Chains A and B, each alone.
Chain A
């Protein structure tokens, strides 16, 4: 039997029908995107969006601004900083993959909005400093503003990559697709990551119990990575530190660099001690060249595994302790930092 092959048979269509057909997905997509912009499913997006929104609260009575990664996000309680130093304290820490670029951009945004912190505390895990920045991770940020205002350091990417970032930023159905895929596979996954990120000062304590055995295992992973990667501070982080130093000089605040909390087993291991010594020397070289940048933790602040979530993040119960230790270090340093600035001024 011989039958004709399938064909594209002609169809009569009016413009009205074409428009109506296309309007359905366009309107629905606009709604979905608006919803995802307002309520992102990606925790990274939510944390970054929340922290960026908090820059509006910088105001004029900003005493201490905390920048950095998740070690600072979970570990530094701004309320204690307010009690210790007066003025308002804000924790705008995000996550380590954004490196110190994040700190520089956040600070420029705070300053642009009129905030004038008296001190800036920069808290990063020791290994955040050696990593490079993956530009695709910047999509949670208001990139059109960052690009338009030329926040430093500028991303070293071409126009095509820039357009891709903007597209992922403003079309979150595409930009957050990895998380959406995860949610579709396992809807409960979202509930497990339902963290309260809406505190007025930006602090996001980790309210779950410590995991001592996991902390010990995680420390081993850190040591393996240390063995494989001996980099100290990556070029993008060095550039960001220069930007932070210039802003500190220009606006007259002191910036304190601190290593995030560490599991004591890791902090005491010979491999880590050797690595951290090199890191310390590099930071001290950088600080020598800038009167307002100070390295706060030549000896990392460490905790037992029973107070840690993993090898470099504390649980909520330990944040007071970590924050108070940082406060003490800043207090010890502040008079001498003022003297140092005074001496340099006199020398000129």
Chain B
């Protein structure tokens, strides 16, 4: 049903964005017209994937907008709670139907089969609408914020619709908070030289991470996971590391491009990654990885469940449930649930043995060796999680676990596909040492320009014959 490929790494998207940017700047004298251009473009962007899902986007938007006003004008907590339940329930119902119905139906059928009862599952073969996990969460976040009085409900449907549908982040986040993005939509935007400067880096660096690093590592990961019983030892390690780099390069690359193109229009989207593979603990990992989702889960699931206010057992329960549902959010498959449960256990374990941390920074041990071991230990734990996430079957996961330490087996040359990731490592080490994610943009203009030239050449030459879609488009 897709008429045009609107992947960020497609020519059609570049043409689309060039047209949108031109219209956007041509209408800068009228905020309303400018927002109208963005809204129309966003719907056109979403509709290019599959026009049938525009209705879902509009429904989710309409539900949040309508119930947001009802919540704000309701008398009493009871009435407000009822409207909130409707708003959240309807959005979750849409998400559950389109994302999870077939999964739960076939899983239930398998469960009955296992105990000797055969039932035919009612599966509808429903197509997963792209981006549904992101915009429904954004809509839910809005109505919950209105309920708690954190913001006034939106009275302007066009502005609100743009907040939900804003195309740079529509299909794969970052999930935006109403207080941040809606305010930017309501005010005239100006574009500063610093934003252009930052946008150029984010866009080129994002494309490089996706097209050169992630796609190449994806070839390596697919090769090893696809024929896993032909490999052992170091090759299995290469496969897992390749997937870890692939999913990071892919997702952070997408986010960088989304943030970069937003900056070209004067919008600031939230940071979604802070060098996650340099985390010193699993807890810190979640402050660095997919930050928009982890903070959303914290604010709209963990805290409403009780957070850490009910004693250690309750806190651990809340942590575990939050991570479990976070895993399920990623997709309708048991390995995502298992991955979420795994991270839940890690966080619960940390909580049990080390207690809460006072803030939101890095928990790095004071000594250099301690710091290094903490990072490597966290990385190993994260890689084990990615093994669960990527595994096509429990048998495959078991094979990896049993054979990953067979260091005597011959190594293939698949590791060569990971070599471009050395550039990623160098840049991120520079960012880490300086504590500044903008460190590259401080280079002398000729040096930075030359770096951009290198990135463009690498993107042109290093791309795979057919660059696949972004991984997080599936969620």
Asked if A20 and B11 sit within 8 Å, CB to CB, the answer is no
| Assembled-state Cα–Cα distance A4/B436 (Å) | 11
Q: Determine if B452 and A21 form an interchain contact, defined as CB atoms under 8 angstroms apart.
A: yes
B449 within 8 A of A: yes
Residues of A within 8 A of B4 (CB): 160
Q: Which residue of A lies closest to B363 (CB)?
A: A2
Q: Does B411 count as interface, using CB distance less than 8 angstroms?
A: no
Interface stretch of the complex, out of B39-47, B161-169, B338-346, B454-462: B454-462
Give the complex CA separation of A1 and B359 in angstroms.
Answer: 11
Q: Is the CB of B194 within 8 A of A13?
A: yes
Q: What is the CA–CA distance of A10 and B460 in the complex, to the nearest angstrom?
A: 31
Closest to B452 in A: A25
Given the complex of chains A and B, what is the CA–CA distance between A4 and B438 in angstroms?
A: 15
- Selected from A4, A21, A28, A181, the residue in CB contact (under 8 A) with B435 is A4
Residue in chain A with minimal CB distance to B443: A21
The closest CB in chain B to the CB of A173 belongs to B460
Do residues A13 and B431 form an inter-chain contact, with CB atoms below 8 A?
A: no
* Given A5-B361, A17-B445; A25-B453 close (CB under 8 Å): yes
A177 / chain B contacts, CB cutoff of 8 Å: 460-461, 463
Whether, in the assembled complex, A188 has its beta carbon less than 8 Å from a beta carbon of chain B, the answer is no
Min Cβ gap A136→B in Å is 10
Among A146-201, those with CB < 8 Å from B are 160, 163-164, 167, 171, 173-174, 177-178, 180-181, 184
- 0/1 string, A74-90, CB within 8 A of B gives 1: 00000000000000000
Question: In this assembly, does A134 line the interface, its C-beta being within 8 Å of a C-beta of chain B?
Answer: no
Binary per-residue interface labels of chain B (334-360) against chain A in the complex, 1 for a CB within 8 Å, 0 otherwise: 000000000000000000000001111
Is there contact, CB below 8 Å, between A28 and B193? Answer: no
> A20-B445, A25-B453 known; A1 and B194 CB under 8 Å?
no
Q: Which residues of A contact B363 (CB under 8 A)?
A: 1-2
Q: Which of B182-190, B195-203, B244-252, B389-397 contacts A (4 or more CB under 8 A)?
A: B195-203
Q: Are B465 and A21 in contact (CB under 8 A)?
A: no
Contact assessment for A163 and B194 in the assembled complex, using a CB-CB cutoff below 8 Å: no
Q: Is A228 an interface residue (CB 8 A)?
A: no
A14 contact set on B, CB distance < 8 A: 193
B441 to chain A: which residues have CB within 8 Å?
A: 11, 13
Q: What does the 1/0 interface line of B343-384 toward A look like (CB < 8 Å)?
A: 000000000000001111111111000000000000000000
Q: Which residues of A contact B461 (CB under 8 A)?
A: 173, 177, 180-181, 184
Pick the contact of B457: A10, A160, A173, A178 (CB < 8 A).
A173
A contact face: mostly helix, strand, loop, or mixed: helix
Residue B5 is within 8 A (CB to CB) of chain A in the complex: yes
Cα A23 to Cα B449 with chains together (Å): 7
Q: Which residues of A contact B442 (CB under 8 A)?
A: 11
Docked pose: A6 CA to B271 CA in angstroms? 11
Contacts of A25 in B (CB 8 A): 449-450, 452-453, 456
The one of B11, B197, B275 in contact with A21, judged by C-beta atoms closer than 8 angstroms, is B197
Residues of A within 8 A of B288 (CB): 5
Q: A11-B438, A160-B4, A160-B12 are in contact. Are A21 and B364 (CB under 8 A)?
A: no
Return the contact of B197 from the options A4, A11, A28 (Cβ within 8 A): A11
Which of B358, B437, B452 has a CB less than 8 Å from the CB of A6? B437
Count B-side interface residues using an 8 Å CB cutoff.
50
* Nearest CB in chain B: distance from A278 CB, A: 34
Total A residues in contact with B, Cβ cutoff 8 Å:
38
Known pairs A8-B438, A22-B200, A163-B11; A2 contacts B453 (CB<8 A): no
CB pair A2–B11 under 8 Å, yes or no, is: no
Interfacial residues of chain B within 278-295, with CB under 8 A of chain A in the complex: 284, 287-288
Contact residue among B196, B198, B364 (Cβ-Cβ distance under 8 Å from A8): B198
B287 to chain A, nearest CB (A): 6
Kindly state whether residue B15 has any CB partner on chain A within 8 Å: yes
- Of A9, A28, A29, A171, the residue contacting B438 (CB under 8 A) is A9
Residues on A with beta carbons closer than 8 Å to the beta carbon of B359: 2
Q: With A1-B366, A5-B274, A5-B362 in contact, is A163–B15 under 8 Å at CB?
A: yes
**Interface residue? A12 (CB, 8 A):** yes
User: Residue B127 at the A interface, CB < 8 A?
Assistant: no
Residue of A nearest to B451 (CB): A25
Which chain A residues lie closer than 8 Å to B124 at the CB level?
none
Closest Cβ neighbor of A24 among chain B residues: B449
B198 touches A164 (CB 8 A): no
Residues of A within 8 A of B437 (CB): 6-9
Cβ of B456: which chain A residues have Cβ within 8 Å of it? Answer: 25, 29, 173
The answer to whether A12 touches B194 (Cβ under 8 A) is yes
Contact check, B448 vs A21: say whether CB atoms are below 8 A apart.
yes
Q: Are B197 and A18 in contact (CB under 8 A)?
A: yes
CB-defined contacts of A274 to chain B, threshold 8 Å: none
Indicate whether B446 reaches chain A with its CB closer than 8 angstroms.
Answer: yes
Which B residues are in CB contact (< 8 Å) with A163?
Answer: 11-12, 15
Q: Which residues of A contact B431 (CB under 8 A)?
A: 6
The answer to whether B118 has its CB under 8 Å from any CB of chain A is no
Please determine whether B362 and A21 come into contact, CB atoms closer than 8 angstroms.
no
Which A positions have Cβ atoms within 8 angstroms of B? 1-15, 17-18, 20-25, 28-29, 32, 160, 163-164, 167, 171, 173-174, 177-178, 180-181, 184
Q: Can you list 10 A-B pairs, Cβ within 8 angstroms, ordered by A?
A: A2-B361, A6-B274, A6-B431, A6-B432, A6-B437, A8-B436, A13-B194, A25-B452, A29-B456, A163-B12
The 8 closest A-B pairs by CB, nearest first: A24-B449, A25-B453, A21-B445, A20-B445, A25-B452, A1-B366, A13-B197, A9-B436
Query: Can you add 10 more A-B contacts, CB < 8 Å, to A174-B460, A180-B460?
Result: A2-B358, A5-B288, A5-B360, A5-B361, A6-B435, A9-B438, A17-B193, A17-B445, A21-B452, A184-B461
